[in-house]
A and B are shown apart, each in its own frame.
Chain A
Amino acid sequence: MNAATMRIAPEAVARALTTRRRDVKGTVFTAVLVATLVAAMAVLATLLFTVITGSLPVWRSRGVGEFVTSQMSADPEVAGIWQAFYGSLLLMGFTAVIALPTGVGAAIYLEEYASDTRFTRIVNANIRNLAGVPSIVYGLLGLAIFVKLLGGITGPDVEGRSVIAGGLTLGILVLPIVIITTAEALRAVPTSIREAAIGVGATPWQTIRHHILPVAAPGIFTGTILSLGRAFGEAAPLLLVGGITTFFSTGDSGLIETLQGRFSAMPVLVFSWSRLPQGGFRALTAALIVIMLLVLLLINGAAIYLRNRFEKGVSS
């Protein structure tokens, strides 16, 4: 190319710069993307609208507090969700106590200590597979082990159908997810931070304790809390390990007795109520779903809050 062909008339430049080319493909692509988003949002909006309007009679006649604190019953006029609400919280707590330390510990070992051998690669691949196993399968596992085999320990007076059995089942259900999200958070810690700590003479433990865990904490918290949200919404495994939906006394027994006692949970109650023929339960089911969505919103909100808090803590 010589200098002569490089010369362009100023008018041509001005014209080229001010004329906008029509980008048909780009516009179509953007339109398709917007359409998919609208479709997804429409489904969600329909769900929310149906549930909220369906639940209005309950809020009008009874109020949120009364509905949540009333005992479960076969009579739609007085039936509440207290045992299920309380049971879900209890299960969450138990699941968290079981799955979080185990999962975070396993992830730390796999990521930070285990050498990269064929064996650890197989273990890693299997954990990923386990995260995809249908929850009903975990329910069967829980039924076989925690209810039948270990029933004498998990719930001697209720044939093993106890909070402990339910919590353990949910615990192993979310364990792979906790391990994967924690491992990902650990992997995201920059190598430079590890090297810096190792370089000043830190042992592997000191490096993990003082530098890797604090940096990975926001990711670990978010991941594990979201996995608890998953456990919160599970009905199938709890149906198998004996979640019940009729009245039972939550009493004022001690912690061990409560854990070894019977349990209910909100998703189980949704399943049960939605199959009842009486018209009154339709509105109750809708109301129950609204409460569940609110709790999930709280859980996710907590995850975001904790993440922000820890991120701030790290950067200052």
Chain B
Amino acid sequence: MKASAPDEPMSIGASDPIAVNRRVTIDVPERFEAAGDILFAVRRLSVDYGTFRAVDDITLDVRRNEITAFIGPSGCGKTTVLRCFNRMNDLIESARVHGSILYHGVDLYGPRIDPVEVRRRMGMVFQKPNPFPKSIYDNIAFGPRIAGFKGNMDDLVEESLRRGALWDEVKDKLRDSAYALSGGQQQRLCIARAIATNPDVVLMDEPCSALDPIATLRIEELMTELKKDYTIIIVTHNMQQAARVSDRTAFFTVDVKDTGARTGRLVEFDSTGKIFTKPSQRATEDYITGRFG
């Protein structure tokens, strides 16, 4: 079962907890072995908000140059898990993260990890387009500037906007406020901003939920384009979207206890084709076919 290429960057010894105590079946078919190196190895990740466990015991691998989708009903913790990858949960004071996310073999939650350095390697796109209240140009330039970018900023801004599929629409008004753009354009600006710092990974938290179908389509095309250079993890409520764009899909669900506490867990993680055609778990099938959620 273990999808370990010989050059697998992280080291999971014999005491690998997933081998001992596993709730989740991670069944990666043969043909995916070569699809990409494992970039993130999430191992037994749990997140608490105060005394309440938001997500419990998540284990999955995210592969390079693939789009990994997190789907599941509201409250199942998929956004919480996504925000663990760039340590965004640090902003929530009561949040505690257990377990590990190995990135190039380094545990992002290990001691002496600089969260700022982590975030520079992971671009993030949020649910609601959130450009800075500044010019289009400054929106792109801010990240590289603070990262100490020394090259030609104009070129970098142009390239980022081209990659964000926005250049042709904004090239004559780079000094205009980003707020003057439409919602779809703002979101593409946010994607361009996220990749301007040349990250390894782009994390997307329901990037199309505030957009109309045409804008959504453009973003999806863009994602397919971007995965050549980046690894993408996307949280989405839209199952068709997951089916259309992603290579692998993780299906989360939520367990409601008698006390009303809601804890998310990973039900199934597999290639998107398999999740949507012959899922191994009944819960997944019910969700996919619309019988639940």
Contact = CB atoms under 8 A, between A and B. Distances in A.
Contacts of B123: 199-200
A200 B143 contact: yes
Contact of A198 (B117, B119, B176, B190): B119
B88 A198 contact: yes
A179 to B, nearest CB: 21
A200 B91 contact: no
A146 B271 CA distance: 74
A200 B196 CA distance: 9
Interface stretch (A44-52, A67-75, A188-196): A188-196
A202 interface: yes
Contact of B88 (A199, A214, A314, A315): A199
A308 interface: no
A161 to B, nearest CB: 47
A200 B142 contact: yes
Contacts, number: 71
A249 interface: no
By secondary structure, the A interface counts as helix
B179 interface: yes
B119 A199 contact: yes
A210 interface: yes
B132 A195 contact: no
Interface string B194-206: 1011000000000
A315 B176 CA distance: 9
B170 to A, nearest CB: 15
Interface residues of B, number: 29
B124 A199 contact: yes
B116 interface: yes
B132 A199 contact: no
Contact of B193 (A198, A200, A206): A200
Given A116-B93, A192-B130, A197 B124 contact: no
B246 interface: no
Contact of B132 (A116, A193, A206): A193
B88 A195 contact: yes
Interface in B66-121: 86, 88, 91, 93, 116-117, 119-120
B163 interface: no
A199 B91 contact: no
Contacts of B147: 201
Contacts of B167: none
Contacts of B193: 196, 200
A202 B146 contact: yes
A178 B61 CA distance: 50
Contacts of A192: 126, 128, 130
A215 interface: yes
B143 A211 contact: no
A196 B190 contact: yes
A68 B141 CA distance: 53
B164 interface: no
Nearest to B176: A316
Interface string A126-150: 0000000000000000000000000
Give the interface centre of A200, A202, A211 by most chain B CB atoms within 10 Å: A200
Nearest to A117: B93
Contacts of B36: none
Contact of B93 (A115, A190, A211): A115
Given A195-B88, A315-B133, A315-B177, A200 B126 contact: no
A316 B174 CA distance: 11
A203 interface: yes
Interface of A: 115-116, 190, 192-203, 206, 210-211, 214-215, 314-316
10 contacts: A190-B130, A196-B130, A196-B132, A199-B88, A200-B120, A201-B120, A201-B146, A202-B146, A214-B133, A315-B179
Interface of B: 86, 88, 91, 93, 116-117, 119-120, 123-124, 126, 128, 130-133, 135, 142-143, 146-147, 176-177, 179, 190, 193-194, 196-197
